[in-house]
Amino acid sequence: MAKRIKIFDTTLRDGEQSPGCTMNLSEKIEVARQLERLKVDVIEAGFAISSPGDFESVKTIAESVSDCTVASLARCTVGDIDAAWNAVKGAADPRIHVFLATSPIHMQYKLRMTPEQVVAKTAEMVAYAKKYCSNIEFSCEDATRSDWEFLKVVVDAAIKAGATVINLPDTVGYTTPAEMQALIQYMMENIPDSDKIEYSVHCHNDLGMAVANSLAGVQGGALQIECTVNGIGERAGNTSLEQCVMAMHTRPTLFGELPRIDTKQIYRTSKLVYSVIGQTAYNTQPLVGANAFAHESGIHQHGVLANKLTYEILTPESVGISTNQLVLGKHSGKHALAARIKELGYDLSDEQVGETFTKFKDLCDKKKVVTDSDIEALITNTTSSPEDERYKFVSFTVATKGRQGVEGTICLRHEDEFIEKTYCGDGSIDSLYAAIDKIVCPPEHTLDKFIINAVSEGQETLGEVILKLRCGDKTYNGRGLSTDIMEASIMAYLGALNQFMD
């Protein structure tokens, strides 16, 4: 009987290592809870030994979710494994994920260890981790550039020491689908007790083959795919969770029992992660991009109208994109909005529904038609907003001064004090941001990214501003939402400033 394929999500560990993708504790918890709603099997919550902040986030996530395994990464050292266990021991199902490089180049130049030392260290540290919990994963870093005969010895040692999952990563995105499938098959056929453990694949996208290589690993016998939401990660990224899952759902006869993922949570999970890290999907991104289900060609349009299967191999609804644009307006009550939020698949607390309703009523005063896209944007903005902002937006004005530029005046509330400052700059955004700086007095920083998106169609659409500020070697993301793009820009800037002023 075919065994179910498991999804190991490493968005909060490997994904967050990507430059500009850092998250604070509240954002990590929010993403973790959404991953639980998505029904991933394993959440790799972080690398506990790397910093006190990472330890705390792993520990908090482990104690916050209950419907999936929570793992922490650890090098083959006693200190790493101790930290990993102390972080995940409060989880319903804790896992320690131990790794050690096995390729010749890594052993010689990074580890400075002989092959014999690597085998001995693997056995010693897996056995050490096993004393803490039964769920132990061992990864052979850079497995796809390792000698297969040597890899077999290392994997056998890890299994005998107590590993329950063996991961064979394509750490630098080097392999091909045929090679990955053959590698998994070789290990399963040549290592005793392979039937008692699970093989896993963790592929990077340096040559654009991460998804293909991961699916090939499954066809070779792997039962776990390690991936990230939107494929975020170091360099060119990781295996895309959504693409792997939907490929298996679209071609179920080619794979084993399908993952338990609730596919209707895919789109909102993608949107949440992009919102938290201050990025957006590119238009042609599979499944979640703006053009993923669009048909402009006349031939394509004719085919889709005749039968959707001519050009659509899956529906937008299958990944949680609503095509039923039910319209709510200023006469709609809180119960009607709450019902629609539930229909859209969101599970909000009464407090969050109340906050969303307040923003919904404000929007109704500015916009005649409020669509599902608007409601989803309001929900994301509500659940992602900082709970206790140091500086709160009150009002702004801008006035052109001819050749002198544009004068921007901003009013913020700090605790019980209202503070107003004015600055004359080159443009509206420049003036308003400079006026905010006069109030907040932040440390020196630069604006790395500034993106404006339209949430829905029409001139009255909500405008979404996503920006990224850099302060020293750290980046901070901000997001603002309003029918007034200036107001959205202010809210996004304040959101980022409030993070590094805390």
427 and 434 in contact (C-beta within 8 Å)?
A: no
Q: Which run of H or E residues covers position 425?
A: strand 417-425
Q: Note whether 358 and 402 are same-domain residues.
A: no
Provide the residue range defining the domain that includes 271: 6-277
Q: Note whether 335 and 408 are same-domain residues.
A: no
Q: Note whether 419 and 356 are same-domain residues.
A: no
Q: Note whether 92 and 175 are same-domain residues.
A: yes
CA separation for the pair 502, 500 (Å, rounded): 5
Backbone angles phi, psi at 418, to 5 degrees: -100, 125
pTM for this predicted structure = 0.84
Q: Note whether 380 and 483 are same-domain residues.
A: no
21 and 228 in contact (C-beta within 8 Å)?
A: no
Q: Note whether 113 and 134 are same-domain residues.
A: yes
Burial classification of residue 468, based on how many CB atoms lie within 10 Å of its CB (0-12 exposed, 13-18 middle, 19 or more buried) = buried
The pLDDT score that the predictor gives to residue 18 is: 78
Q: Note whether 169 and 75 are same-domain residues.
A: yes
Decide if 93 is inside a domain: yes
Q: Give the CATH number for residue 434.
A: 3.30.160.270
Total number of domains constituting the chain: 3
Q: Note whether 410 and 371 are same-domain residues.
A: no
Decide if 446 is inside a domain: yes
Decide if 1 is inside a domain: no
The pLDDT score that the predictor gives to residue 296 is: 45
Q: Note whether 212 and 263 are same-domain residues.
A: yes
Q: Note whether 363 and 415 are same-domain residues.
A: no
Decide if 454 is inside a domain: yes
The pLDDT score that the predictor gives to residue 301 is: 45
Q: Is 75 helix (H, G, I), strand (E, B) or coil?
A: strand
Which of 217, 246, 277 is the last residue in one of the domains?
A: 277
CA separation for the pair 198, 208 (Å, rounded): 26
Q: Note whether 377 and 403 are same-domain residues.
A: no
What residue ranges of the chain have pLDDT lower than 50?
A: 295-302, 304
Decide if 210 is inside a domain: yes
Q: Give the CATH number for residue 202.
A: 3.20.20.70
Q: Which two tokens stand for residue 195?
A: 């039937």
Decide if 306 is inside a domain: no
Decide if 436 is inside a domain: yes
Q: Note whether 136 and 232 are same-domain residues.
A: yes
Decide if 288 is inside a domain: no
Distance set, CA 265 to CA 173, 285, 384 (Å): 28, 17, 17
The pLDDT score that the predictor gives to residue 280 is: 84
